[in-house]
Amino acid sequence: MLTLYFDYPFAASVVALLRLQRLADAGVAVAFEGFDPLGLDTALPVTLDQYEEIERHGREAADLGFALRRPSRRPSTLSAHLVGEVATRAGQGAAWRQACLAAYWHDDADLGDHGTLLALAAAAGLDLADVGEALGERAARLRLRQRMVVLRSRGIGGVPVLEVAGGTLVSPDLPDHDLRSLAGL
């Protein structure tokens, strides 16, 4: 089993998500867990580092069928990851991740805005009552933040990071055949 820790505004996460989703679609055991490495409740301006990351990973994303466009902000993504939990429980995790990627990278959407997330959830076919409850539940936000603190204490500070069953952390940049082998461990 492989677990990919990712965040939507990171170009390297986009590539990892696309590659590992293809493996999951082919039957490889992969779990996807959203991780907000910034941990802020506000959007930040795009940094030069983010632009450089887009340049570095843009070609690979394009080769995977996904164009990276320059965003205007780096939003807080905790709320998007809360909705991701709802989507995963409903069997719609892949559709939710794809909707968030397209919204952020193609439409410059603010993934920290609840109205935006509700519209994306409706388009992805999620139950809006469940999504609204997740977005409004303070305890769920706190639980997810606490989970991210625990992950940081285990060495997950940036994204993307791939965890192999047993707790070994590796780069998701490995060739597909290596990823398949690791998933079988």
Share of the chain above pLDDT 70, in %: 99
- CA-closest candidate to residue 129, choices 158, 88, 86: 86
Question: Do β-strands 168-170 and 161-164 pair in parallel, antiparallel, or remain unpaired?
Answer: antiparallel
What residues does 164 pair with on adjacent strands? 2, 168
Which pLDDT belongs to residue 40?
76
Query: Residue 7 pLDDT more than 70?
Result: yes
Token pair 């509700």: residue:
118
CA 53 → CA 12, 48, 57, 168, 175, distances in Å? Answer: 7, 9, 6, 25, 20
Residue with tokens 């410059």: 108
Helix (H, G, I), strand (E, B) or coil at 132: helix
What is residue 43's predicted lDDT score, i.e. its pLDDT? 85
The domains located in the chain, with CATH, are 2-183 (3.40.30.10)
Q: Which tens digit of pLDDT belongs to each residue from 129-150?
A: 999 999 999 999 999 999 999 9
Predicted confidence band of residue 185 (pLDDT cuts 50, 70, 90): low
> What's the pLDDT at 107?
97
Angle (nearest 5°) at CA 32 between 28 and 33: 155
Checking if the pLDDT of 166 tops 80, the result is no
Mean pLDDT throughout 37-59? 90
Residue-averaged pLDDT of the chain? 95
Is 90 exceeded by the pLDDT of residue 2? yes
Residues with Cβ < 8 Å from 71, sequence gap 6 or more?
A: 9, 46, 50, 104, 105, 108
pTM of the model: 0.94
Q: Using one digit for the tens of pLDDT, what is the confidence trace for 60-102?
A: 999 999 999 999 999 999 999 999 999 999 999 999 999 999 9
| Measured CA distances, 146 to 1, 72, 150, 152 (Å) | 23, 29, 6, 10
